[in-house]
Chain A
């Protein structure tokens, strides 16, 4: 997370806003554009507004929810974090939500961190060095992309089952096992993306540092990586969100309720039980969504550039 936080703070300074747009058009000509925009905003936001309202309404059930809360309360948030025995009482609002949040943070942060670091290392090699197998390596990365890990979920499951009998830290139902499996996706299209960015950093910088006596490792850590901070932040965020959204592998590898990540845990929490759990669920959604949306807003400019360069959030 450190990389992302830093960059988020650094962006306003790095990209000064320079707005010299054309003459403002008359409202008479653009009113319909505003109407369309507002319709789109209503459609885009009504589930969000609705969930926010449900989170702050005292009534925990779906049937009792409404768009405008009658009185505001934090009951749902308290219920979500109060220890309880959800295993014995299905109508209870208690859940292992704090565990799920913590597990997800651990898994997503470690995966994002290693994705950025290991990916950047590889991307740097592809960008700066000319070696035998370079072209094959980059093409190979693209080829591997077409067989995403989730297609091999059966094999991954069986491998983890077998590995787990020998190494208990990597067994089923461990976060370390899940993280290490996710790290298989480190060398992905992200490497292409980062390589493209490194290509735009003048090689003269490297060379002058080398003349000063720096080793390739020192050039990488000291010169190139700091300059690539924005792109690293975006890759980190995408990787973080990717893990946050990942359901298949997590649901197959994690089994006990306290070990689950958010998607698996929250699906189980409300599945077929909307009437009981809607309020606390809504509170849980808000807590999980707000930080991600804020990060997205901060990094929006880079994300748009990344999108047009061809990476898909997933």
Chain B
């Protein structure tokens, strides 16, 4: 927020500056010198500080002390940088972007690494004390000879929730409050023919929507009654329940009251009995390299992981190889100086590249629909299960990816071809080389010098091309191994499903671990690419 305030008035400045600059740059400089420039700067700084103060108030209100400290330090540093007149000039230019870089790129990376070494997942979300509390709250079951009640939720005179209860065996009436269970004289209660309480002196019984709105409060409400307690079941009845687990604070373990079974902290975020039975929920804790180890040792994880990894490599490789070959072929075909309609062809052929990719992918999903899609119905006149058969889906993904990427390689090949001096080819022709030899020995090697780094970059890009998979097939179809990973899932979409597709549980820890693995793979590819390019020479 603070940086957005710093630069938001820029468009007006840019507009003014660019029109003036064309005619007379010095006029623009004069315009920004003196009061105007100073005014803008002071306004922006004031805005930033105002935002910081607001954020400070909110943070103090929430008692987030470490965040308060960071905010104060950062704000002070920013003021210092922008108010020191002649010093730290590079910092003035670098700071706005860097603030965001740190907050939403570097910190997430650090946090990803941290999560990757934990068991953070469905059932392991809470802290340990929270988990213990929740286990104790859940550890009740109806006791063997416990009482059951007809219930009417009510409010007492001071508005507190109370339960008007009729024992279903004895017909005795009670009122249950958070403080305990008290008998209620029959005379104070009005019952209808079914035996439900409809009125009681000193209590109001809500009806209609206000009755339904009590549901949440009833969920956590209980009436202590000696060793057991009475818990509401829905809106109309209540049962007497007994605690099943006892927490032994000294030894940090749970004991099952019925048979004395002991559940100990297994060091991996769960209380587990000697028989291997675990208590839900567990808690979030560090588990070292387990998430990474799973990919090697646990056959439930290793199988899908290896399959997805292999397919990711195949997908990225074939997409680049096919797109480059086709793009280069088109570029060579159209790279005929003076050929008619050349510019027109080129403008049309880049359209698949200019289209927003997500739209093309969703359209292709429709075109490849096996019943109604135009590809099956109007072109092939067959019934190819494009998106429903594992292998056809893989073919479809690569075809569509190639369709999307070919214009890119067409453009860059065209550019690279035009930068090859014609004299080289002419010299080869004079030396007696045929067209094919000329292409193989002269054109292609020169072209690859320029295009090979782009191919590597494209490979790295497609390696993580979430959209091409997820928007076309959704990673599907499902496979028989019961994993969340479908037949066309690549690593990044597999990660996404592990973390966010509800149903099979959310495994943030494993998802982060795979994210880190992808980083190392892509980093290795990119490193290879950077060594080949001259990018690093610009550093001089």
Please list the residues of chain A having a beta carbon within 8 angstroms of any beta carbon in chain B: 2-3, 6, 21-25, 27, 30, 33-34, 36-37, 40-41, 43-45, 47-48, 50-51, 61-63, 65-67, 110, 113-114, 117-119, 121-122, 124-125, 129, 131, 134-135, 137-139, 142-159, 165-167, 169-170, 180-187, 191-192, 195-196, 199, 205, 209, 212-223, 225-227, 229, 241, 244-245, 247-248, 251-252, 262-263, 266-267, 270-271, 274-275, 278, 281-282, 285, 288-289, 292-293, 296-297, 300, 303-305, 307-308, 310, 312-314
Contacts and interface: CB of A to CB of B under 8 A. Distances in A.
B101 A22 contact: no
B355 interface: yes
A45 B354 CA distance: 12
Contacts of B22: 226
B17 A221 contact: yes
B105 A222 contact: no
Nearest to B110: A155
Nearest to B364: A47
A308 B415 contact: yes
Nearest to A299: B354
A286 B3 CA distance: 35
A310 B115 contact: no
Interface of B: 1, 3-4, 7, 10-11, 13-15, 17-18, 20-22, 25-26, 28-29, 31-33, 37, 41, 55, 58-59, 62, 64, 67, 89-90, 92-94, 96-98, 100-101, 103-109, 111-112, 115, 329-330, 333-334, 336-341, 345, 347-360, 362-367, 369, 371-374, 378, 403, 407-408, 411-412, 414-416, 450, 453-454, 457-458, 461, 464, 466-467, 470-471, 474, 492, 495-496, 499-500, 508, 511-512, 515-516, 518-519, 522-523, 526, 530, 533, 535, 538-539
Given A152-B109, A155-B112, A212 B26 contact: yes
Given A117-B7, A154-B512, 12 more contacts: A3-B11, A24-B340, A37-B345, A121-B96, A138-B539, A170-B1, A191-B97, A214-B33, A226-B22, A262-B358, A266-B359, A281-B366
A270 B259 CA distance: 55
B366 A154 contact: no
Contact of B4 (A50, A114, A185, A296): A114
Contacts of B374: 50, 65, 67
A27 B341 CA distance: 12
B531 to A, nearest CB: 12
B458 A312 contact: yes
Nearest to A137: B94
Given A37-B345, A40-B330, A310 B367 contact: no
Contact of A135 (B59, B97, B539): B539
B490 to A, nearest CB: 12
A57 B94 CA distance: 53
Contacts of B115: 154-155, 158
A187 B98 contact: yes
B99 to A, nearest CB: 9
Contact of A308 (B360, B412, B470): B412
Contacts of B464: 148, 150-151
Given A137-B94, A152-B112, A196-B538, A222 B519 contact: no
Given A121-B96, A147-B519, A155-B512, A244 B105 contact: no
Contacts of B341: 34, 37
Contacts of B414: 304
Contacts of B92: 216-217
Contact of B372 (A40, A50, A275): A275
A77 to B, nearest CB: 16
A145 B526 contact: yes
